Chain A
Amino acid sequence: MLVVTVFPLLVVLKTSLVNSSELFDTATDLLPTSPTVVNYEKVLGLLTTEEAIVNGGSGANINILRALLNSAIFTGVIVVVQTFNCTLAAYAFARMRFPGSKILFGAFVASMMVPAVVIMIPNFVFVRDLGLLDTRAGTVAPYVLMHGFSVFFLRQFFLSLPKEVEEAARIDGANPFVIFLKIALPLSWAPIMTIATLTMINMWNEFLWPFLVAKDPAMQTLPVALQSFRSQTPQGQPDWSGLMAATVIATLPTLAMLFVFGRRIVESVQFTGGK
């Protein structure tokens, strides 16, 4: 099983170390015969345009570091803001009684069922009319304010949390926001981190929306930049060795995350499934 998971990644690594002119002769080798880092230099923009072309690349190289940065900003902003908003809303739906709360919660949950493609077209038009295509604001807009599943998940958690302490604080006259910040939030780090982890995974990998609204290379997130690099067919074929070098670099953050937060990620994924 581990072989099935890891083997493709090794093939990618090997390809990334082969000069593109040797790809044909070495396709079936398991190890690179004359390893080179030229593909990495190429995708990191260390070669001039002409050198890149001679080495089988396209003139305009994927700027993978910029794409990584864009992805980090995109993911980071959404994880922090969306999770915070959803926690607030989930807390209100679990603890506060106000007219319309049931209907609104139902509507939030229903929003999970709508296929992404349905709202994608009007959202594209909306973001275009706001003049936000090819901007960071436009790219994060549909995600940053709320996410149905996060609200649902966190509300279920808050419902299971004993309310005595909060009741006591309320009788003492503390306002709801203080109660939320001082009492509910500290008790909820575990599920919040779970949902933040899941959001992080999903957003890091999100493709369709950023692909539609962030065409400008300066704004492209990693998956979008990779896809556009793939469709760079400088000489009628993708620059495979360069592409595989980019793939390796793109895989590194995920590996690093898994290395550092392995337990948290595995548990987060399992936790939501158990629910």
Chain B
Amino acid sequence: MLSIAPKVKATVAGYLFIAPALVGFLLFYAWPAARAVGISFTDWNLLSEPVYVGLDNYAEMIQDEQFWNGMKLSALYVLLNIPLQTVLGLFLAVAMDRLTKSLFVKATVLLPYLLSNVLVALIWLWMLDPLLGIVNAMLALVGISPQAFLGDPEQALISIAAINIWRHMGLVAMLFLAGLQTIPKYLYESAALEGASEWRMFTRITLPLLRPVMVFVLVTSVTGSFQIFDTIAVTTSGGPLDSTRVIVYYIIQNAFSFYKMGYASAMSVTLCMVMLVYTLFQMHILRASESDLA
């Protein structure tokens, strides 16, 4: 009896401690996740009762060009966004590591990230305006004809990627900078003594030792980037034509403009599966990188 009592007590205490978080988890994560699957089997506009339609929504989805277009655009967006953002962030970090430790500089570099997506999108929407924007005015100074940027189906997604590179570059640089500062200085000193070039030191010392940070940056930024929504809602609303109608935008549009809750849920559940597969794949790489450094 005596041996059970403390155990029960510990269990009660444990559950009391996690109770608020557990309620939040069950109500706003676990249950909705399950419910999303349920809704995906229905036809429901929120005004009338949901009608069970089995796999109809999934069948519709597979034949929906716009769904595939959205998936493709999201993936394309990641490719436009991540590599450049990571490289720029890395070089910025290296430059800061060499040149300055000033908090003011760090804070300034980080500033765009602290402004909301909406704010940043507004700022650039104005700067990139084809007729009044300062960017075209500056291009004109170097003899480049005005560009439509967000108004051109060929350029819109690229422009949005550029906007987000501007917002995230400083954050990525900060993360790399933290990583750089953990690299022991004597490694560079001894390499310099052996006459290694700057580039060689960068590729042989800096890059390999930054790998854990690199993995972290990529894991978080790729999943975030695949779910881009805010900037598009402010700047292009999915247009011109469908050139920026990425998957999350298309899902939200179906759910909250057309009130096709079932169809939107079917697409979101599918998106979740895709992300899950991707995350597992990435964790595989992550683990590989950890053992690499051990």
Q: State if A and B touch, Cβ cutoff 8 Å.
A: yes
Interface residues of A (CB under 8 A from B): 1-2, 4-6, 8-9, 11-12, 15, 23-24, 27-28, 85-86, 88-89, 91-93, 96-99, 101, 104, 107-108, 111, 113-126, 128, 141-142, 144-146, 148, 151, 175-177, 180, 201, 204-208, 211-212, 222-224, 226-227, 230, 240, 243-244, 247, 250-251, 254-255, 257-258, 262-263, 265-266, 269-271, 273-275
- The interface residues of chain A lying within 8 Å CB-to-CB of B18 are 88-89, 92-93, 101, 104
A27:B133 contact, CB within 8 angstroms? yes
Interface of A is mostly: helix
State in angstroms the CA–CA spacing of A190 and B215 once bound together.
25
Inter-chain residue pair count (beta carbon < 8 A): 267
Contact B122 A269 (CB under 8 A): no
Q: Cβ of B36 and Cβ of A118 under 8 Å apart?
A: yes
- Tell me whether B251 and A117 are in contact (CB under 8 A): yes
Chain B interface, >50% SS class = helix
Kindly state the separation between the CA atoms of A160 and B256 in the bound complex, as whole angstroms.
45
* Cβ–Cβ contact B127 & A8, under 8 A: yes
Interface-forming stretch among B22-30, B52-60, B189-197? B22-30
Instruction: Decide: B20 and A85 in contact? CB cutoff 8 A.
Output: yes
A273 touches B279 (CB 8 A): no
- Provide the bound-state CA to CA distance between A118 and B276, in Å: 12
Q: In the complex the two chains form, is A88's CB within 8 Å of B17's CB?
A: yes
Contacts A126-B32, A270-B174, A274-B178 aside, 19 further interface pairs with beta carbons under 8 A come to: A8-B166, A12-B123, A12-B126, A27-B133, A88-B18, A98-B10, A104-B22, A114-B33, A115-B268, A117-B248, A119-B32, A122-B33, A145-B20, A145-B27, A151-B21, A205-B114, A207-B118, A208-B229, A247-B123
B233 contacts the other chain (Cβ, under 8 Å)? yes
**Interface positions of B from 120 to 160, Cβ below 8 Å from A:** 122-127, 131-134, 137, 140
Whether B227 lies near A115 (C-beta < 8 A) is yes
B119 touches A98 (CB 8 A): no
Q: Is the CB of B110 within 8 A of A117?
A: no
A96 touches B17 (CB 8 A): yes
With a CB–CB cut-off of 8 A, which chain A residues contact B207?
Answer: none
Interface size class of B (residues with CB under 8 A): 35 or more
Is the Cβ of B272 less than 8 Å from the Cβ of A114?
Answer: yes
B15 at the interface (CB under 8 A from A): yes
Q: B residues within 8 A CB of A113? A: 223, 275-276, 279
- Contact present for A11 and B32 (CB under 8 Å): no
Output the residue of A111, A116, A118 with the most chain B CB within 10 A. Answer: A118
**Would you give the shortest CB distance from B26 to chain A, in whole angstroms?**
9
A115 close to B272 (CB less than 8 A): yes
Determine the chain B residues whose CB is within 8 A of the CB of A1 once the complex forms. Answer: 92, 95, 109
The reply to whether A262 and B103 contact each other, CB–CB distance below 8 Å, is yes
Q: In the complex, what's the smallest C-beta–C-beta distance from A58 to chain B, in angstroms?
A: 15
Contact A207 B116 (CB under 8 A): yes
Contact B13 A176 (CB under 8 A): yes
> Is residue B239 within 8 Å, beta carbon to beta carbon, of the partner chain?
no
* B103 / chain A contacts, CB cutoff of 8 Å: 262-263, 266
Smallest CB gap from A99: residue in B: B11
A118 & B177 in contact (Cβ 8 Å cutoff)? no
* Interfacial chain A residues near B123, Cβ < 8 Å: 8-9, 11-12, 247
